[in-house]
C-alpha cells in the first residue's frame, strides 16, 4: 500500500454521513479518566472537513491518508515535537471517531497512531498528549538507562509488567507505600525507590541490598567519580554536574547559584537546618532545600570531579510537574522555581498575616517604599529575600481621569526585553520562467510585520522580475504545503520553511483568464494498488513541484503536455538516441519533440501496445490532418506507415488531476478537448519507471545556484544591557486581557504603566528575554548583549557597585539547544566554564557572547576578597579539563582595575 493511495477495508459512507457521524462524536463525547483519545495533525483534519462539507467523492479536496508528519521531530523515532499547541498544531478526537476515520482513509505507512489517555489530574480531566517517560537503571550502573513511556493513568501493576518486559526479570512485589520488593532469577533482593508512585516519579533506581542489610541509597551519594575518588583533592566549587538526559538547563542554573557566595555559605554553614519550614502550605516540606543543600555540599567538598544530581532532579520533578521527564527546559524557569521553592522552604515566618495594601495617595516615595518593604518582610523572611529581593516602583495613570497610582512591589529577578529588529532576513528559492535556468537561492531583508507582497518586492529588486509575476509557496515533501496570497502576513512563514518563489508568464489585461496550475511529479509503481479497492497504479511523489500560469483556453490535454514538456526541459536527458524529423519507425522518444503526443490514456505508458495498421475513415482523416499540419513530410512516407509508427510511439508521462496532497486521480480529458479546472487546480504528471530512468535526470533537476546575497555574512546585532533596562522601564499601555481597575472611574481601564528600579538586592539577577512567542512565530533572539563585568547603579545614593559573578548561557535554537555557564569562584576569584560534567578555565574576555541568557551580579560592598591565590592560567591552560585544574599561584585577582560603567535606569 502506498502513502498516496486511499486505504479502506470497505467503501466509506457518503460525505454528509461522514460529517454527521464525526461531528456527533466530537460534540457528545466527554472526557472520562482512562479513555483513549487520538492526536491528529490539524491541517489534515481541516482538509477533511472541507472535503466533506464542500466536496464530492471525486473532489480535489480529498485529504488522502491520515498524515501526522508535521507533528514529529523526525520520521525515525516518531517523537512528538515540543510545545505543540492544541487547535493550532493538532486536534484531539475520541477513539470511536479515530477508528472511523482510520477505516475510511487509512494512515501513511509506518506512522504509529498517536493514542493518548485521559488522566484525572487534581483539578481537571485532560488528554495526556505528552506521556510520562520513566528511566530505569541500577544504582550500581546509572549510566545504563532503559527508557519506557507510561500514562499517568497506568497502575503499578502495568509498570511492573513493562519492567519485566524490558529487563527480563522475574518480579514479585508487595504494596508497601513507596517501596517494592523485586527478585532476580538469582537470590538477590533489590529495591525500587519512588517518591509517591512510579507514575509521578519517573526515575526508578533498582539497587542491591548491602551485606549488612542496608541499602546503598541510605549512604551519602557518591556521584560520578574517578577510580580512586577518595584520593582526589580539588578546588571546592570547581565541580561538574552530570547530564542526566537533557538536564543541562538544570546544571547551568545550579552552577550559577552554587557560585553565589552568600547563598552557598549559608548552606555550607548548615544554617538552613534551623530555618527549615515544614508547615508552610506554599512550601515543599523542606525537601527542596534539603536536596539542594546535599548537592551544594558535595560540589564544595573538593572531593569530586563531578556529581550526579539525580535525587535533586527527582525532587524537582515531584514538586513541579513541568519539569517531569527528560525533555529540554528553560534554565531561567528552573531558576525561578528553585528560588521560590527555597524561599518558602526556608521562610522564617510560620504564620503569614493578612496585610491590606495601600496606595501612595500623595505620600513621599521614600515613605511608601519603606512601608511596602516592611509589609513584604512581615510575610516573607528568608535567606532568599535577604539575598535576591529588591523593589520596583510601579506608576499607573488612568487615561480617562488621569488618576496616578504609585505602588512598590518586590522582585526576585529582572526579566528585561531585547530591542527587537523591525526587519527580518529570509532565505528563498527563486524559480525562473526560463526552463533551462536553475533555481537560485536568495537572502532578502523584509519587514518583520510585512506581507508576502513585501517579500516579492524585495526579491524583485534582485531579479528584475515584477512582483505581480511572482507567487510564493511553502514546499514540503515534494508537494505544496501552502500557496500564499500576496496580502498574507509573513509571520506565518517560519525560518525553517522551504519557501519557493515562482515566476509566472506575463498576463496582459486584455488577454483571457489564466489558471494557476500546481504541478506535481509522480512515479508509478509496476503494480496495481489492489489493496485500496482502486484499479489505479500506486504512485510516489518526487522532485520539486512547479507553479505555472496557463490561459484557460490552452488547457487541452495536448497543449498541457507540450507546456509541461518544455517546462521540464532542463531535467530531461537527451543523451538517448532520439527519433528524427523523418519519423523513422522506432520506439525512440525525443523528449522535446512535442509533435509526438499520441496515446494519453490514464494507464501506464508501458501498457500501450502496438496495434495492427488497419485503415479506417477516421484514420484517413487523421492522416490528411497530419499531412496538412506537418511542415515537410517526406515524399516517400506513406500515411499508413506514419500511422503505424504513431501507434508505437510512447509519451514520456501521463497527466492526472489530483488534490493538494497529490492523490485522488481523475482524468483530464483527451486530445484537444479543454479541461475544466477549479479555482486552484493541482495536476500530476505520472512517469513510468523505465521512462523516468531513461529520460529524467534527477541529479540535474535537484541542482540550484546561490545568489551573491547568500555570500554576504549576516551582521550580528549588538545591543547594550543599558538599552534592555531602559526598554524594561519604558512607559507601556496595559493589554486588554489585563486592565487596571481605576478607583476614581470605578471601572477597568487600559492604563499606562511604568516600572522603575527603586532598590536593588545584594545579588541582582538579570534575565535576558531571548525567546519570543507569538501566535505564528517562535524565535530566539541571537543579538549580542554587551553587559559590563562591573558597573554602578546610579539610582541609589551612593551608587550601588556590582561585579558580575555568573552567567547562564544558551546555545542553539528553540527546539534544540544546550546550556552552559560561566562562574567566578568565591574562594580564588578565578573564572571557570561549566559544561555539564566538564569544567575548564575561563578568562573575562570570553564571557560576553550572544549565548548569554541569565546574568548574576554581586554588590561590591558585600563581596569579600578571595582567600586563595588565583591559579596560573595561560592560553593553553584555558582549555584544560577540570581534572587538570590543580595548580595555584600567589597572584590575587585585580578587582578594581577596570573602570565602571554607569547604568541609568530612571
- Note the Cα 718 to chain centre separation in Å: 25
Name the CA dihedral angle for 515, 521, 526, 530, rounded to a multiple of 10 degrees: -60
Residue 310, number of CB atoms within 10 A of its CB: 19
What letter would DSSP give residue 559? H
CA angle 478, 479, 481 (to 5 degrees): 130
Q: How many Å apart are CA 434 and CA 407, to the nearest integer? A: 67
Give residue 631's region: left, alpha or beta (phi > 0; psi -120 to 50). Answer: alpha
Q: How many Å apart are CA 556 and CA 668, to the nearest integer?
A: 8
To the query of whether residue 248 is one of the catalytic residues in this protein, the response is: yes
Which residues does residue 391 pair with via DSSP β-bridges, in sequence order? 410, 759
Question: What is the Cα–Cα distance from 100 to 600, expressed in whole angstroms?
Answer: 37
239 as an active site residue: the answer is no
Strand partners, 719: 785
Tell me which residue of 597, 602, 607 sits closest to 652, measured CA to CA: 597
Characterize 142-162 residue by residue with b for buried, 16 or more Cβ atoms within 10 angstroms of its Cβ, and e for exposed: beeeeebebbbbbeeeebbeb
By 3-state DSSP, what share of the chain in percent is helix, strand and coil, each rounded to 5? 25, 25, 45
CB 784, CB 800: distance < 8 Å: no
**Cell numbers placing 22:** 464525526
Indicate which residue of 412, 514, 818, 888 is catalytic: 818
Asked if residues 236 and 301 have their Cβ atoms less than 8 Å apart, the reply is yes
Phi, psi of 116 (to 5 degrees): -135, 145
> What is residue 869's DSSP assignment?
P
Please pick, among 193, 201, 239, 248, the residue that the annotation labels catalytic.
Answer: 248
Closest listed residue to residue 448, CA positions, set 485, 483, 493:
493
Backbone angles phi, psi at 606, to 5 degrees: -65, -20
Let me know: does 583 contact 637? Beta carbons within 8 Å: yes
The full length of the chain comes to 906
Q: Name the grid cell of 893.
A: 585577582
Residues annotated as catalytic (active site), given as ranges? 248, 818
Amino acid at each position: 500500500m502506498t502513502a498516496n493511495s486511499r486505504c479502506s477495508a470497505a467503501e466509506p459512507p457518503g460525505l454528509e454521513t461522514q460529517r454527521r457521524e464525526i461531528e456527533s462524536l466530537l460534540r457528545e463525547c466527554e472526557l472520562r479518566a482512562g479513555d483513549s483519545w487520538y492526536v491528529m495533525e490539524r491541517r489534515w483534519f481541516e482538509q477533511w472537513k472541507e472535503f466533506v462539507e464542500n466536496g464530492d467523492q471525486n473532489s480535489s479536496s480529498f485529504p488522502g491518508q491520515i498524515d501526522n508528519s508535521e507533528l514529529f521531530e523526525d520520521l525515525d523515532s516518531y517523537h512528538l515535537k515540543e510545545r505543540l499547541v492544541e487547535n493550532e498544531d493538532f486536534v484531539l478526537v475520541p477513539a470511536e471517531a479515530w477508528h472511523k476515520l482510520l477505516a475510511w482513509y487509512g494512515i501513511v505507512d509506518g506512522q504509529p497512531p498517536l493514542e493518548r489517555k485521559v488522566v484525572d489530574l487534581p483539578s481537571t480531566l485532560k488528554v495526556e498528549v505528552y506521556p510520562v517517560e520513566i528511566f530505569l537503571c541500577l544504582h550500581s550502573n546509572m549510566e545504563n538507562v532503559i527508557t519506557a513511556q507510561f500514562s499517568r493513568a497506568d497502575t503499578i501493576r502495568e509498570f511492573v509488567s513493562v519492567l519485566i518486559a524490558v529487563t527480563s526479570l522475574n518480579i514479585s512485589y508487595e504494596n508497601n507505600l513507596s517501596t517494592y520488593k523485586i527478585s532476580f532469577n538469582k537470590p538477590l533482593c533489590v529495591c525500587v525507590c519512588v517518591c509517591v508512585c512510579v507514575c509521578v516519579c519517573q526515575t526508578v533506581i533498582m539497587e542491591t541490598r548491602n551485606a549488612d542489610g542496608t541499602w546503598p541509597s541510605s549512604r551519602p551519594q557518591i556521584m560520578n567519580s574517578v577510580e580512586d575518588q577518595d584520593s582526589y583533592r580539588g578546588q571546592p566549587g570547581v565541580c561538574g554536574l552530570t547530564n542526566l538526559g537533557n538536564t543541562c538547563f538544570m546544571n547551568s542554573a545550579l552552577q550559577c547559584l552554587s557560585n553565589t557566595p552568600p547563598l552557598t555559605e549559608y548552606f555550607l554553614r548548615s544554617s538552613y537546618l534551623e530555618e527549615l519550614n515544614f508547615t508552610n502550605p506554599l512550601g515543599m516540606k523542606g525537601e527542596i532545600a534539603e536536596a539542594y543543600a546535599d548537592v551544594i555540599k558535595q560540589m564544595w567538598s573538593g572531593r569530586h570531579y563531578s556529581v550526579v544530581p539525580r535525587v535533586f532532579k527527582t525532587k524537582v520533578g515531584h514538586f513541579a510537574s513541568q519539569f517531569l521527564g527528560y525533555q529540554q527546559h528553560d534554565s531561567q524557569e528552573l531558576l525561578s522555581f528553585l528560588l521560590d521553592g527555597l524561599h518558602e522552604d526556608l521562610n522564617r515566618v510560620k504564620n503569614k498575616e493578612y496585610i491590606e495594601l495601600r496606595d501612595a495617595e500623595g505620600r513621599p516615595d521614600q515613605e511608601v517604599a519603606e512601608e511596602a518593604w516592611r509589609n513584604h518582610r512581615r510575610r516573607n523572611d528568608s535567606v532568599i529575600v535577604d539575598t535576591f529581593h529588591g523593589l520596583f516602583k510601579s506608576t499607573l495613570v488612568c487615561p480617562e481621569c488621569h488618576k496616578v497610582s504609585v505602588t512598590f512591589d518586590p522582585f526576585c529577578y529582572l526579566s528585561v526585553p531585547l530591542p527587537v529588529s523591525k526587519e527580518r532576513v529570509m532565505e528563498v528559492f527563486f524559480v525562473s520562467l526560463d526552463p533551462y535556468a536553475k533555481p537560485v537561492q536568495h537572502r532578502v531583508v523584509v519587514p518583520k510585520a510585512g506581507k508576502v507582497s513585501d517579500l516579492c518586492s524585495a526579491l524583485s529588486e534582485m531579479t528584475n522580475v515584477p512582483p505581480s509575476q511572482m507567487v510564493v509557496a511553502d514546499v514540503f515533501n515534494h508537494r505544496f504545503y501552502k500557496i500564499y496570497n500576496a496580502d498574507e502576513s509573513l509571520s506565518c512563514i517560519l525560518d525553517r520553511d522551504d519557501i519557493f518563489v515562482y515566476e509566472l508568464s506575463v498576463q496582459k489585461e486584455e488577454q483571457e483568464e489564466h489558471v494557476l496550475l500546481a504541478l506535481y511529479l509522480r512515479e508509478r509503481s509496476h503494480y496495481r494498488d489492489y489493496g485500496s479497492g482502486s484499479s489505479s497504479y500506486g504512485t510516489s511523489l518526487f522532485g520539486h513541484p512547479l507553479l505555472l500560469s496557463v490561459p484557460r483556453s490552452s488547457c487541452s490535454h495536448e497543449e498541457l503536455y507540450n507546456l509541461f514538456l518544455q517546462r521540464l526541459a532542463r531535467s530531461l536527458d537527451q543523451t538517448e538516441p532520439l527519433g528524427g524529423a523523418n519519423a523513422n519507425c522506432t520506439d525512440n522518444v525525443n523528449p522535446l519533440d512535442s509533435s509526438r503526443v499520441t496515446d494519453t490514456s490514464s494507464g501506464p505508458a508501458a501498457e500501450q501496445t502496438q496495434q495492427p495498421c488497419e485503415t479506417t475513415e477516421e484514420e484517413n482523416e487523421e492522416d490528411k490532418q497530419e499531412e496538412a499540419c506537418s511542415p515537410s513530410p517526406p515524399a516517400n512516407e506513406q500515411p499508413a506507415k506514419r500511422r503505424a509508427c504513431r501507434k508505437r510511439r510512447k509519451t514520456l508521462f501521463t497527466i492526472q488531476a489530483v488534490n493538494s496532497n497529490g492523490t485522488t486521480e481523475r482524468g483530464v480529458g483527451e486530445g484537444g478537448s479543454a479541461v475544466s479546472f477549479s479555482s486552484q487546480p493541482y495536476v500530476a504528471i505520472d512517469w513510468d519507471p523505465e521512462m523516468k530512468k531513461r529520460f529524467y535526470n534527477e541529479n540535474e533537476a535537484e541542482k540550484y545556484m546561490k545568489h551573491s546575497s547568500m555570500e554576504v555574512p549576516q551582521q550580528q546585532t549588538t545591543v547594550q544591557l543599558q538599552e534592555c533596562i531602559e526598554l524594561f522601564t519604558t512607559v507601556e499601555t496595559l493589554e486588554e486581557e489585563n486592565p487596571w481597575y481605576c478607583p476614581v472611574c470605578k471601572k477597568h481601564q487600559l492604563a499606562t504603566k511604568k516600572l522603575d528600579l527603586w532598590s536593588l538586592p545584594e545579588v541582582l539577577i538579570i534575565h535576558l528575554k531571548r525567546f519570543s512567542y507569538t501566535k505564528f512565530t517562535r524565535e530566539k533572539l541571537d543579538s549580542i548583549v554587551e553587559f559590563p563585568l562591573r558597573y554602578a547603579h546610579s539610582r541609589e545614593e551612593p551608587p550601588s557597585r556590582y561585579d558580575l559573578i555568573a552567567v547562564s548561557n544558551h546555545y542553539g535554537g528553540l527546539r534544540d539547544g544546550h546550556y552552559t555557564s560561566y562562574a567566578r569562584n568565591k574562594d580564588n576569584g578565578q573564572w571557570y566554564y561549566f559544561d555539564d560534567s566538564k569544567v575548564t578555565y575561563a578568562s573575562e574576555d570570553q564571557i560576553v557572547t550572544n549565548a548569554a541568557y541569565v546574568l548574576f551580579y554581586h554588590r561590591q560592598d558585600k563581596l569579600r576578597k578571595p582567600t586563595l591565590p588565583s591559579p596560573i592560567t595561560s592560553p593553553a591552560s584555558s582549555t584544560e579539563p577540570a581534572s587538570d585544574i590543580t595548580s595555584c599561584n600567589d597572584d590575587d585577582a585585580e578587582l578594581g582595575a577596570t573602570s565602571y560603567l554607569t547604568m541609568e535606569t530612571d
